[in-house]
Amino acid sequence: MRRGSLLASFAYAAQGVRYALRTQRNMRIHAAAAVVVITAAALLHLSWGRWVVLLLAITLVMAMELMNTALESVVDLASPEIHPLAKAAKDTAAGAVLLAAIFAVVAGVIVFYRPFMDLLGLGG
């Protein structure tokens, strides 16, 4: 595979995802949550609109975690010693993941509420 080819760039990106899954516990938690959510969505035969919201939320959280991992690596490389700006960079990136995760939880509750109530026979 040629180093600068399109195929090579996909392979490097896949390596990045594998690296994050291997080294970041939070990334593994996000991936496990995504599997649970996708399985539940399939079992409940959700509408296309609800699927889109769920997939957007899952993608947002995992993309934020990947960016957070990238930023942590760059900060550790550039500033292995303690520095207030290194702290600010890492904390802000972690804040972005937190915001995305809160959005995903709220979106999940909104998306699953009605189908879940219907399943229990409690729909109005």
Which residues sit at the interface with ligand ATP, rule CB under 6 A?
Answer: 24, 26, 68, 72, 79, 82-83, 86-87, 90-91, 94
Which is closer to ligand ATP, CB of 29 or CB of 52?
29
What residues act catalytically?
65
Question: Which residues, at least 6 apart from 31, have a Cβ–Cβ distance to it below 8 Å?
Answer: 21, 62
Residue 78: CB minimum distance to ligand ATP, A: 9
46 three-class SS: coil
Alpha helices in 44-124 (DSSP H): 48-78, 84-119
